[in-house]
Structure 1
Amino acid sequence: MDQFVVEGPCRLQGEVTVPGAKNSISKLIAASMLTDKPCEFSNVPAIADTVDTLDICRALGTQFDKPEARLLQVRTKSVTNSEVPADMALKNRLSVMMLAPLLHRTGEAIIHAAGGDRIGVRPVDFHLEAYRRMGADVKVVDEVYHVRSQRLRGAEITLPYPSVSATENILLAAVLAEGRTYIRNAAIEPEIIDLALYLQKMGAIIDQQVDRTYVIEGVQTLTGATHEIIPDRFVSASLGAAALLTEGDVFVRQARQRDMLTFLNTIRRIGGSFEIESDGIRFFHNRPLRALSMETSVHPGFMTDWQPPFVVLLTQAEGMSVIHETVFENRFGYVNQL
């Protein structure tokens, strides 16, 4: 396997630009399949999730072009297959996001039980139950999801837990469903707002209410749209933690304060320093770090994705810190290597 060889110790200093959000790109590409018109994305991250999603979409009929770095043009004139190839579905849990495009374009979706990372169980029960409530015929046979519907209907859906992927999946289903859909106890992460904004550009009608509720009025058709993907707040946090960990000074260009409020508060509580600028955030070390007790939570709490780099940072703090992981049971799998 490939290896990174790191020679240290050294202080990280300088500037780095954050790419587009990993947790946005795959859902945005899936959303582009809801129309047969061209769509364009900028600030596209050059990561495996982008490649894997495009491979799945291409197998279903999507055409795409990359005229320059971080720019992606996609179009799905027609969907040529209602089944996500098994090898692709098993490789990546993102395949479940194909449910809405396949149903809306072909009336049928066949998706093998998804694979993915190993940080914990990510059941799709919330997804499938939502589609049932919207009128789809859902069967699970030998770990393969068979979903059929000529047109989904709006429904009242209350999620047992504010799942990010389930919220996104229901948004994709609801924008072309007949009638009005309510998603209650929904996730409200910045990446979900980014998806909602893109869908609105395409012609969707989506309202966000103050109590974790989205109200979607289904429309007949969507059109193509151009969209700049938001910066990756998890990469931003990792770079910030690395700057403090090495007693360095790093400017993280495109890092956005509004997406990192809780992370920045926690950095300040342990004695870390940062400065907010118009085009990014500077992280720097100028005093000893302090221990603290904290727990991960759903947005706007301290995100589970921020936990690993923050735990590494706390190894350099004075005193004993206590971290309670509440989202994924295996998120501490890396600790043995510390």
Structure 2
Amino acid sequence: KYGSDSFESLLQKQVFAVSIPPLASGGTIEVVVPGMDAFCITGGVPLKGTVELSGAKNAASKFMIASLLTEEPVVIKNVPRQHETGLARELVTTIGAEAEWSDAHTLRLKTRTITSTSVRNLSRKNRLSILALAPLLHRAGEAFVPLVGGDRIGPRPVDFHTEALSQMGATINATPEGYHAEVKGRLKGALIQLPYPSVGATETAILAGVLAEGRTVIRNSSGEPEVRGLVMMLQKMGAIIQMHSGRSIDIVGVEKLHGCTVTTMPDRIEAASYACMALGTHGEIFVKGAQHEQLITFLNTVRKIGGDYEVQDDGIVFRASNGFRGIELETDVHPGFMTDWQQPFVVLLTQAKGMSVVHETVYEERFGYRPLCMLLM
């Protein structure tokens, strides 16, 4: 709360200023939002302390969309209150979901009926809207979603999504405003061969397959932890899904799904960001909730540059050593080095001796922050 307003309402007003205690022992972080985010940071001190991770936005937002597949209540715990989950909540309530916060981070959703098959008002706000196609086709037989928006890190084409749905019997018409889809009866199981292990396209195929007639096989699928989290949620709801080695997912469609309670996993992007802060400032931060299994590749890279960490039962401690050395680094799909880890890690590499070479293979405009880094050198 800030006065009588909630944080969410202040975000909507886009006008507030807050000073918060820093992780380090000096200075403050001032957040001012007069229409655009601004962070005024006083540095020069090691960052030390404990920070607890939020839930992963890339998981929680997909859980919200998956709740549309059933008319029964779905309870999602550990939901981060931030921009993307706010948009996901707006999307599902536009379609017909009832959304209620049980506490600060627990959201209860129930979609008794689909009240709108169009999410036209969300145009260009976020790429999440494309994921609503499959649930709407299952529940209403038709859907309209606007052109996809999202971060400015390069093109995010949706042809993998629409092609998968077309193979399952949907008719997709692209217009300058967006995509209209319809299906007669149920979607049909199909063999989906993805040209690239896209997270979003894999999620669309999974959401389509769980209630489709027959068997759906997704080859060259994404194996990201957030995708596994979605699979586990859908299993709780009654879906039959098997993840095989070699990037293959096998789904046997069921007639109906029921409600469930699911907890959002900790955010591995946030974990890596705090780790880079600790290392780059030669401090020590205990990242509570960081999960070893989600960070194996990141932890190996920390060791390669000369950083140090200690895995504990409830999190990971990151601390700096005497110095860092340059490396060659390439981003990749899971279990490779995550593209979202690249930006904070590149900032960390500015403190390393020798040359580092970083090859971004996922999004071509991930280096858009480079001019800002050069201003600080």
What is the TM-score normalised by the length of structure 1? 0.98
Task: Report the secondary structure of 1:109's partner residue.
Answer: strand
- Give the match's secondary structure for 2:347: helix
| 2-structure distance, mates of 1:6, 1:95 | 35
Equivalent residues in 2 for 1:83-122 (5 A)? 83-85=118-120, 87-122=121-156
Measured in 1, the distance between the counterparts of 2:331 and 2:176 equals: 35
| Structure with the larger RCO, 1 or 2 (CA within 8 Å, 6+ apart) | 1
C-alpha deviation, 1:59, in angstroms: 1.0
CA distance in 2, matches of 1:52, 1:23: 12
Alignment gaps of 5+ in structure 2: 1-35
Letter in 1 for 2:371: N
Counterpart CA distance in 2 for 1:320 and 1:300 is 25
Counterpart in the other structure of 1:11: 46
Partner of 2:271: 236
Amino acid at match of 1:105: R
Q: Matches of residues 174-193 of structure 1 in structure 2 within 5 Å?
A: 174-193=209-228
Take 1:332 and 1:129, find their aligned partners in 2: how far apart are those partners?
30
Q: Aligned-pair distance for 1:2?
A: 3.5
Q: Which one-letter code corresponds to 1:136 in the other structure?
A: A
Alignment of 1:175-324 (within 5 A): 175-324=210-359
CA distance in 2 between partners of 1:2 and 1:217 (Å): 45
In the alignment, which residue of structure 2 is the partner of 1:147?
Answer: 181
- Helix, strand or coil at the partner of 2:258: coil
Aligned equivalent of 2:69: 34
Alpha-carbon distance between aligned partners in 1 of 2:321 and 2:101, rounded to the nearest angstrom: 43
Partner amino acid, structure 2, of 1:128: T
Deviations 1:15-62 (A, max 9, x none): 000011111111110000100000101111111011111111111111
Q: Name the CA distance, whole Å, in 1 between partners of 2:301 and 2:358.
A: 12
The separation in 2 between residues aligned to 1:103 and 1:156, in whole angstroms, is: 19
4+ residue segments displaced more than 6 Å: none
Call closer, same or farther: CA 1:124–1:192 in 2, change over 3 Å: same
**1:207-232: CA deviations, max 9, x gaps?**
01111000000000000000011100
Measure the CA separation in 2 of the matches of 1:112 and 1:42: 29
Amino acid at match of 2:298: F
Letter in 2 for 1:312: V
Q: SS at the partner of 2:300?
A: helix
Q: Residue 39 of structure 2 aligns to a residue in which SS?
A: coil
User: Which amino acid is the alignment partner of residue 132 of structure 1?
Assistant: S
Partner residue of 1:66 out of 89, 98, 101: 101
In structure 1, the gaps of 5 or more residues are none
State whether structure 2 residue 120 is matched by structure 1 residue 57. Answer: no
What is the TM-score of this pair, normalised by structure 2? 0.88
- 1:128 paired residue number: 162
SS at match of 1:110: strand
Partner AA of 1:204 in structure 2: A
Instruction: Write out per-residue CA displacement over residues 207-263 of structure 1, whole angstroms, 9 at most, x where no aligned residue.
Output: 011110000000000000000111000000000011000000000000001001100
Correspondences of 1:321-332 after superposition (within 5 Å):
321-332=356-367
User: For 1:305 and 1:3, how far apart are their aligned partners in 2?
Assistant: 21
- Give the letter for the 1:300 counterpart: P
Q: For residues 253-306 of structure 1, give each alpha carbon's deviation from its aligned partner in whole angstroms, at most 9, with x where no partner exists.
A: 000010011000000000000000000000001220110011101100001000
Give aligned-pair identity as a percent. Answer: 50
Output the CA distance in 1 between the equivalents of 2:177 and 2:109.
30
**Alpha-carbon distance in 1 for matches of 2:305, 2:280:** 12
Is 1:137 equivalent to 2:168 in the alignment? no
Q: Distance in 2 between matches of 1:232 and 1:193?
A: 14
1:79 and 2:114 correspond: yes
The RMSD of aligned alpha carbons is: 0.8
Report the alpha carbon displacement of residue 143 of structure 1 after superposing the two structures with TM: 4.1
CA deviation digits over 1:99-158, x for unaligned, max 9? Answer: 111111100011111111110100000000000100111111224211111210000011
Count how many residue pairs are aligned between Structure 1 and Structure 2.
Answer: 337
> 2-side partners of 1:38 and 1:89: how far apart?
27
SS at structure 2 position matched to 1:282: strand
User: 2-side partners of 1:234 and 1:58: how far apart?
Assistant: 27
Question: 2:103 is paired with a residue of what secondary structure?
Answer: coil
Secondary structure, counterpart of 2:152 in structure 1: coil
